[in-house]
Amino acid sequence: MLQKIVFQDNIFQLSRSIDTVNEGLMLDLSPDYFFDKTVDDLLFFDASIQKIFSQLQSNPRISGYIHIMHSLLSCQNRFLQLVDSILQSRAAMKEEFEALLPKLQTIRNQHTTLNASICETIVKCDKNNDSRDIVSQNELSELLNF
């Protein structure tokens, strides 16, 4: 199943969707039209980011793994900015979001932890990649004694 998933495309689309919602919340939108859709989008972004990370974490041998993880981290940071703008009442429909603030704070806390996990995974994989690129003293001696 993972072979058929194009993570970069999915993360790109997710990032663009987050940007669109974020930009929309800067407008004076009518809650009658957009509030339910915005809440559904927020929950979708939350679940999708977690699912993508879970799938990636379980299969670190995917081609371009580090690049994909960096893209996911960027996407997730956009999502955190979106949630923060709502939590800090900088977004449209402030009154409607008040009832959801505790849930959004929980989501934000979960994504802060997830953000740390993504960063840790990237650092760990970067160290592993670096160690493979280092030539040992014995290998260097062999190479120089051609």
pLDDT tens, residue by residue, 62-82 = 888 889 999 999 999 999 999
Residue span of the structural domain in which 69 resides: 2-144
Does 137 have pLDDT greater than 90?
no
CA within 13 Å, CB half, 78: 22
Could you give the number of structural domains in the chain?
1
pLDDT tens, residue by residue, 92-109 = 898 999 999 999 999 999
CA distance 10 to 2: 13
Give the pLDDT confidence score for residue 135 in this predicted structure: 54
Q: 11 and 71 in contact (C-beta within 8 Å)?
A: yes
